[in-house]
Amino acid sequence: MTKAISKVKTIKVIDLFAGIGGIRLGFERVYHGKIESVFSSEWNKYSVQTYQANFGMENVHGDITKVDISDIPYHDILLAGFPCQPFSQAGLKKGFEDTRGTLFFDIARILEAKKPKAFLLENVKQLRGHDKGRTLEVIIKTLKEIGYKNVQYTLLKARDFGLPQNRERLYIVGFLDDTVPFEFPKPLSVETRVGDVLEQKVDEKYTISDRLWAGHQRRKIENRRKGKGFGYSIFTYDSPYTSTISARYYKDGSEILIAQEGKNPRKVTPKEASRLQGFPEDFKIPVSDTQAYQQFGNSVPVKVIEAIAKEMLPHLS
């Protein structure tokens, strides 16, 4: 792999629905200075603030639906963690037409116009079963109609790639060259432990209040009585992994609470949320805790992206 990387020239990427740059970061950490981001797009101003704090004050375009195709430069790889709006008519029409009116259409129109060598798309695992599988079927069919006959997708878990978080996401990879023998990375078979990402000293403000703790316990009892599995989840230093951190984590932290001896459990800190997603220690968090939780909850597990990038690289050399 090292030999392959050394022979690769600079690879140009565009970073769509960029968030705080998790997908781009995964590629940069593998390609060792050989990645050049020639275009990025993100509409949330707080995410842009974090993005620019870590990647430099480059221009980040806003709403991709308002960007003219002529303003997007040619590139080798399109990267996108796109929001998937429901396809209200998926399955009623065919192929490319079915994607109009969704944010996926903006990816499709760029791929059709610029024809990069490859792409990586990321989305929630529920996309695979949305509308009984028809939504994903339309997406794959659309990509093939555009010219990407070589399209593969799979679900990958963060905990299978060294991160103590049970985060499962759908990844779609495509190449213009239909002879490329791409395969998704295999699980690393390494043990994970929540304690490895926890800070030694944590501000008391992250300990949840008596009122919130009582509410969590009451709701869990009520949900159990109704036959629902919803409720808070507590983890310790020795837990192998946490549940998935979400963009709503800032509200009450219920999906990931850390046990504390002799007092109420606490939320993870923004730095711990960053580590759960595999961001490096020097990753800057210039925003409030509320915004940070939303940003990391919306982001990607960087180590999974790194693993995918390692598999894509040899086919672009």
Active site residues: 84
Contact 12, 76 (CB under 8 A): yes
φ/ψ of residue 207, rounded to 5: -75, 125
Burial call 99-124: b when 16+ CB within 10 Å, e when fewer = beebbbbbbbbbbbeeebbbbbbbbe
10 Å Cβ neighbour count for 266? Answer: 21
CA–CA separation, 210 and 127 (whole Å): 38
DSSP tag of 67: S
Cα-Cα-Cα-Cα dihedral of 266, 268, 269, 271, to 10°? 160
